[in-house]
Structure 1
Amino acid sequence: MRVTSGTFRGRLLRMPHGIRPTQDRVRKSLFDVLGKDVADRRVLDLFAGSGALGVEALSRGAVSALFVDEDAGVVRTILANLADLGLMEKQAKGPHPPPSPSLSVYGEGGGIKGLSSRLGEGEVALHPSPSTFARVEVWRADYRRAVRRIKGEGRAFDLVLLDPPYREGLLPEALWALTGAGGVAPSGLVVAEAEARLLAPEVNGLTLIDERTYGGTKLMFWVKRETVGA
Structure 2
Amino acid sequence: MAKAKPARKPASAGGQIRLIGGQWRGRKLPVLDSEGLRPTTDRVKETLFNWLMFDVRGCRCLDLFAGSGSLGFEALSRGAAEVVLVEKDPRVARQLQHNLASLPGARGQVLNTDALAMLQAAATPFDLVFLDPPFHRELLAETCRLLEQGGWLADDAKLYIEREQGSQALSLPANWRLLKDKQAGQVCYQLYQREQVQE
Q: Would you say 1:144 and 2:113 are equivalent positions?
A: no
State the partner residue of 2:84. Answer: 66
The reply to whether residue 218 of structure 1 matches residue 188 of structure 2 is yes
Alignment-derived partner of residue 9 in structure 1: 25
Q: Distance in 1 between matches of 2:107 and 2:76?
A: 9
User: For 1:28, which of 19, 35, 46 is the aligned residue?
Assistant: 46
**2:132 equivalent among 152, 158, 163:** 163
User: 2:161 corresponds to which letter in structure 1?
Assistant: A
- Aligned partners of 1:176 and 1:204 also within 8 Å: no
1:43 paired to 2:61: yes
In structure 1, the partner of 2:198 is 228
* Paired amino acid for 2:116: R
Secondary structure of the equivalent of 1:35?
coil
Q: 1:144 aligns to what SS in structure 2?
A: helix
Can you give the 5+ residue segments of structure 2 that lack an aligned partner in the other structure? 1-16
1:55 aligned to which of 73, 80, 86 = 73
Q: Against the structure 1 CA distance between its residues 32 and 38, is the aligned structure 2 distance closer, same or farther, given a 3 Å change threshold?
A: same
- CA distance in structure 2 between the partners assigned to 1:55 and 1:142 by the alignment: 20
Compute the displacement of 1:13 (Å).
Answer: 1.3
TM-score when scaled to structure 2?
A: 0.85
1:210 match: secondary structure: strand
The secondary structure found in structure 2 opposite 1:13 is: strand
SS at match of 1:148: coil
Where does the alignment leave 5 or more consecutive residues of structure 1 unmatched? 87-131
| In the alignment, structure 1 residue 205 sits paired with structure 2 residue 169 | no
Once the two structures are superposed, residues 22-47 of structure 1 have per-residue CA deviations (whole angstroms, 9 ceiling, x without a partner) of 11111111111111111111000000
The residue identity in structure 2 corresponding to 1:185 is A
The answer to whether structure 1 residue 180 and structure 2 residue 130 are counterparts is: no
Structure 1 contact 27–53 (Cα < 8 Å) conserved: yes
The root-mean-square deviation of aligned C-alpha atoms, in Å, is 1.4
Q: Which moved more, 1:134-143 or 1:193-202?
A: 193-202
Q: CA–CA distance in 1 between the matches of 2:170 and 2:198?
A: 24
Aligned-pair distance for 1:218? 1.0
Q: TM-score if structure 1 supplies the norm length?
A: 0.74
Percent of aligned pairs sharing the same letter: 36
Counterpart-to-counterpart distance in 2, 1:194 and 1:38: 22
Distance 1:10 1:208 in 2: 31
| AA matched with 2:32 | P
Instruction: Assess if the C-alpha contact under 8 Å between 2:62 and 2:130 holds in 1.
Output: yes
Name the structure 2 match of 1:122: none
**Matched letter for residue 25 of structure 2:** R
Deviations 1:189-215 (A, max 9, x none): 000111122344332332222211111
Q: Distance in 2 between matches of 1:182 and 1:55?
A: 24
